[in-house]
Amino acid sequence: MRISLRRTAAGAFACLATLAVLTACGSSDDTAASDADSTSADAGSDGPYEVDDCAGLDPDRAPDGYKQFDCDDAGASLKVIALQPANFAGLSEPNCPIGTDTIITVETTYGSTATSGIPSQTLCARNLTGDHPGDPGMGGGQLKEQDCVSADLAEIPCAGAPAGALAVVSFATSVSECPAEATDPIELQFQVGRDYNVICAAAL
């Protein structure tokens, strides 16, 4: 048995490239433009990950492959801050906490010749450095309240945002559930595994 890691799409499980397709084009294709199409990396452990475990880029499977490191190892770049269930065929969506910089899928493979594995965990990870794109308004990580999106629905840093940018107020299943301050709600096409259909947003 081998445990493997690969980076998962970021954004509203999502990266906002998907939202742009769904909203602007009305496409029925719910496949995310994602960083997940990468070679799995050996995690270096036969057991499940736990909160406060660390990982880093695997040089043999760069740029999106990861493996497990001791947190004081020079190769460690991420620390697990929360665990989520495995995502099977997009039927579930991780709900990582604010401050998650990277979402990583853990896969378990059986046999030395296996090229892909079965999702077993989702890791919500935070950088060990001072660079935290997953913090509110910083333009990265999973889309959350206090983040910002551009006019074409790409997640962007709130500081210095261009004209037409929107601030995320909350998420809802219908526009009627958005609070009054969400003057520019964004309706999304239904997607299995996502627990909201509207980004309640307001002009900056």
More confident residue, 135 or 190: 135
In 4-84, alpha helices (H): 16-20
pLDDT tens track for 24-61: 222 223 322 223 222 233 444 546 889 999 999 888 77
pLDDT surpasses 80 at 88: no
**pLDDT, tens digit, 9 for 90 and up, residues 141-179:** 889 999 999 988 889 999 999 999 999 999 999 999 999
- pLDDT of 112 reads 58
90 confidence band (pLDDT: 50, 70, 90) = low
pLDDT score at 190: 82
* DSSP 8-state secondary structure symbol assigned to residue 157: -
Residue 115 banded pLDDT, cuts 50, 70, 90: low
pLDDT at 52: 97
